[in-house]
Amino acid sequence: MTQPAQIGLIGLGTMGAMLALNIAEKGFPIAVWNRTTSVTHGFKAEAGALADRITPTETLADLVAAIKPPRAIILMVPAGEAVDQQIAALRPLMDKDDLIIDAGNALFHDTNRRAEEAARLGPHFLGIGVSGGEEGARHGPAIMGGGLRADWDRVAPVLTAIAAKYKGEACAAYMGPAGAGHFVKAVHNGIEYADMQMIAEVYGVMRDGLGMEAEAIAKTFEGWNQGPLQSYLIEISAEVARATDSHSGKPMLDMILDRAGQKGTGRWTVIEAQHLAATIPAIEAAVMARNLSSRLEERLKGEALFGAAPQPTTQVTLDQLEQAMIAGKILCYAQGFALISAAAKAFDWAMPLPEIARVWREGCIIRSSMLNDMATALTEDPARNLMLAPFFADHLKSSHGALRAVVAAAAISGLPVPALASGLAWFDMMRTGRSTANMIQAQRDFFGAHGFERIDGLDDKHGPWAGHGI
């Protein structure tokens, strides 16, 4: 006998189906609905031992009726219009106290709007960022919740049960009101883009600069995965580098077109950072690199005209590359957390920075051993930039020289390393007490009489050129 459902889920695509199985496995009876009814029935038919906890429904009204009130329904539909359509279709069928949970990769501005509409029209609304891909959805994702605290608390038992666990601690937490959860997920994705790009850059130095074969690259990543760089992304990069293409017998990597896709979450992060005047150049560089990678024809024209850029180098050791990656990674995470801080201030959201680092320790794509140290550093002082925390400052003191050597050698050999180089430039600006912005201020005053502050505090806002530019 199928048990009465405690929760509902709409959208049995890969992620939705995996999440529904995860929920059922953790002991929560679930009602499911999909636009195509055969998919809904097929899902139950293939659920094996979990089938008893799954109620397939053929209409939205049936779905709502199958769930114990006050109801909670998770949406796992493509971000954007589909979410609005689904909410509009559910609204007349649900009670005001019921709850809709959008678990897709929504733009947080949309989540803000939907939260506001929910407050006026009901039912209640939560936006949750879910990370971890298919495997995570099935066996434990990281979950970042946004909306009313009381709504989060209501479904927290289910969400913490299905979430990944770090030493027994659930990687699911409330991030703040309205779009806060989806904002944190967007920053996660921005960091994901930068981490992936930096790994691709060091791969490029190994492949084109040091002439290493895929197998040797795989071994190098495997070795790094035993040290401070231990992370899911380094681990899968080793596996990827080791894989062989069944068609050609060549390394799989060599057969993959170098044109990267994207759904846009990294771009959202960069756009938002610009609005907030937050500085995330490593993430910006990663988004730029993805955009440029897709312009293959233009790149081929460039190569035909100027000759191929990458040249072999003898100036970089594998040890330096590892240290450069450590420094780059710290800098990119420091930028991501600083962006979250800026958003918390600007939107008046009390976002729990140490909790965010804790939630990212397991289940999500950017999980890594460094995040535990970041959680500790942010607990000590959530307002301090991570690169200034003693633990990471020590790491940076011992690794930024290698980052500098790698970026310099890469520049001389024409090996593009935009994310590493942007991270380094940011680091150098962050440690320069006397910058060159005095020149910018002088220029602004010259052509626009914008005025400047003097270092001696005198109240004379204009240079001797006053009047020249106006």
| Site residues, ligand 6PG (CB under 6 A) | 105, 131-133, 189, 192, 261-263, 265-266, 364-365
Strands 142-146 and 124-131: antiparallel
CB 96 within 8 A of CB 123: yes
Cα gap 262→266, rounded to integer Å: 8
Nearer to ligand 6PG, 251 or 266 (CB): 266
Least distance between ligand 6PG and beta carbon 294 (Å): 12
Least distance between ligand 6PG and beta carbon 145 (Å): 15
Nearer to ligand 6PG, 55 or 105 (CB): 105
Written as six digits, the tokens of 8 are 């509902």
Query: First vs last Cα of the chain: how many Å apart?
Result: 83
Asked if 167 is an active-site residue, the reply is no
User: CA dist 389 to 3, 38, 230, 339, Å?
Assistant: 51, 54, 20, 17
Owner of token pair 């913490």 = 160
Cβ neighbours, 10 Å, residue 241: 24
Nearer to ligand 6PG, 132 or 352 (CB): 132
Cα gap 408→412, rounded to integer Å: 6
Nearer to ligand 6PG, 66 or 374 (CB): 374
Least distance between ligand 6PG and beta carbon 448 (Å): 40
26 burial type by CB count under 10 A (0-12 exposed, 13-18 middle, 19+ buried): middle
Which residue number has the CB closest to ligand 6PG? Answer: 131
State the catalytic residue, choosing from 26, 68, 81, 185.
185
Asked if 201 is an active-site residue, the reply is no
Nearer to ligand 6PG, 148 or 171 (CB): 171
State the catalytic residue, choosing from 44, 68, 134, 192.
192
Least distance between ligand 6PG and beta carbon 470 (Å): 46
Least distance between ligand 6PG and beta carbon 141 (Å): 7
Least distance between ligand 6PG and beta carbon 106 (Å): 11
Helix (H) or strand (E) holding 74: strand 72-75
CB 327 within 8 A of CB 402: yes
Nearer to ligand 6PG, 265 or 313 (CB): 265
Helix (H) or strand (E) holding 214: helix 214-224
Written as six digits, the tokens of 22 are 């995860």
Counts for the chain of helices (H) and strands (E), in that order: 19, 10
As annotated, the active-site residues are 185, 192
